[in-house]
Structure 1
């Protein structure tokens, strides 16, 4: 593939794993880029490559990184992509890892992207509420979500958040959420917290969607890695059981979710 993909007024493109491209108000945002081929990283093993190659979205205006600690959210190629982008926003701890090019945002701190887009960092918790905290006071590691606002549209990006209580805080703070991108998959590593989930399960993703009352929900972080337990089938069942299957975006990876948005 040569050249970059055409832009949309509003569009979502699932790349694989947690990686999503968002076109909004003339800006292209790439979330948690992971462009490596299948790779064994030791603790984590990637089983599928990206549905979209890095060069196809190399015109990104900003990259948002939920955390730089784990390869499933920022692999080797993704790190290079992030560092080459005009702007890179993440949490303070990850900014220290990524160097001077990265801007670390504290929870509820905002940054402007162009003239129209505002990105706000929001709290996230990468594991169970009673999980052991690290020396910096974080469960598992420091991680952030984001709320993106422009043109009267609000998008919530959960990052690797496992806490419904924090989803409630986001809903209370921002009110109506138009589009929710939820990292689910019930990510599990046996050595951490007794194998309990480090991200939303399918059922808790469905619960988060109900809390947010978002009419459009994109569930990611559920394919391409061995430690994702709940795949797309589990997500569909959970949303169907809750009676909100019509909110779940089932656009395949590598294809833009644009048409349904224009029609809504």
Structure 2
């Protein structure tokens, strides 16, 4: 495996195992079996429709879990929560770390934490809904992973977010190699057309600022509240400028892919 590129295994939903030279991290752990319906608060909820492609018992020892937020089960379900104590550290939002306790550490956007073997992670801005929705949907962060002191971000994980000004500012100045984007165009009947994660079209616009070498969509399948699936994302990237459209990469569930 090249030292400058990650090996990524898409487990399902937002969950991915990311392995760099000397580092293993897991994103947003979701390992419950399909079939159950989960309440997200304020009358919203979703049913899990697909199980994980990798079992928790088959994971390697984890240096860190990068948890965009702890309060929605499509980003942290019961089985995912059970494995958190086995990780070296759980990096998440500041209120999320207070709720989780134990080995959880909260990062506000812009804050950086050291990881083993010369790596570091910086929290990046995310907003999980329209303006003024934060009191309802809660805090979310993304993560920029890089070698300590490096200018280029080796891997950026968007977290559950819609486009907003702080995210655009980050994208315009960041130098990102691989981007894991939480898509799905999440909507709920209760709140009508309001979206809580990016569409494929919005992802294309964001990548026009980011200019990543590789774009990996996650968080677009496996739950009933995801309203935009792979086909719609593909259409959006097919219409994109070549430099953006050619970066799209789909990962087969459960199989490690070097990027």
Answer yes or no: same fold by TM over 0.5.
Answer: yes
Say whether 1:203 aligns with 2:201. yes
TM-score using structure 2 length:
0.89
Structure having the larger proportion of residues in strand: 2
In the alignment, which residue of structure 2 is the partner of 1:127?
A: 129
**Alpha-carbon deviation of 1:190?**
2.4
1:3 matched residue in structure 2: none
Aligned to 2:229: 231
Give structure 2 stretches of 5+ with no counterpart.
40-44
SS at match of 1:254: coil
- How far does the alpha carbon of each residue in 1:5-49 deviate from its partner, in whole angstroms, 9 at most, with x for none? xx8742111111011111123100100010111022242210000
* 2:166 equivalent in structure 1: 166
Displaced runs of 4 or more, over 6 A: none
Question: Match for residue 180 of structure 2?
Answer: 181
Aligned-partner Cα distance in 1 for 2:112–2:157:
14
> In structure 2, do the counterparts of structure 1 residues 15 and 8 end up closer, same or farther at CA, with 3 Å as the change threshold?
farther
State the alpha-carbon separation in 1 of the partners of residues 179 and 48 from structure 2.
Answer: 25
Secondary structure in structure 2 of the residue aligned to 1:178: strand
Superposed counterparts of 1:135-174, under 5 Å = 140-150=137-147, 152=150, 154=153, 155-173=155-173
| Structure 1 spans left out of the alignment, 5+ residues | 1-6
Residues paired across the two proteins, number: 246
Q: Return the alpha-carbon distance in structure 2 between the equivalents of residues 68 and 29 of structure 1.
A: 16
Q: 1:18 aligns with which of 8, 14, 27?
A: 14
Q: Distance in 2 between matches of 1:23 and 1:214?
A: 18
Q: State how far apart, in whole Å, the 1-side matches of 2:37 and 2:208 are.
A: 36
TM-aligned CA deviation for residue 219 of structure 1:
0.6
- Secondary structure of the residue aligned to 1:180 is strand
Q: Distance in 2 between matches of 1:58 and 1:82?
A: 13
Aligned partners of 2:55, 2:19: CA distance in 1, in Å? 17
CA distance in 1, matches of 2:214, 2:92: 24
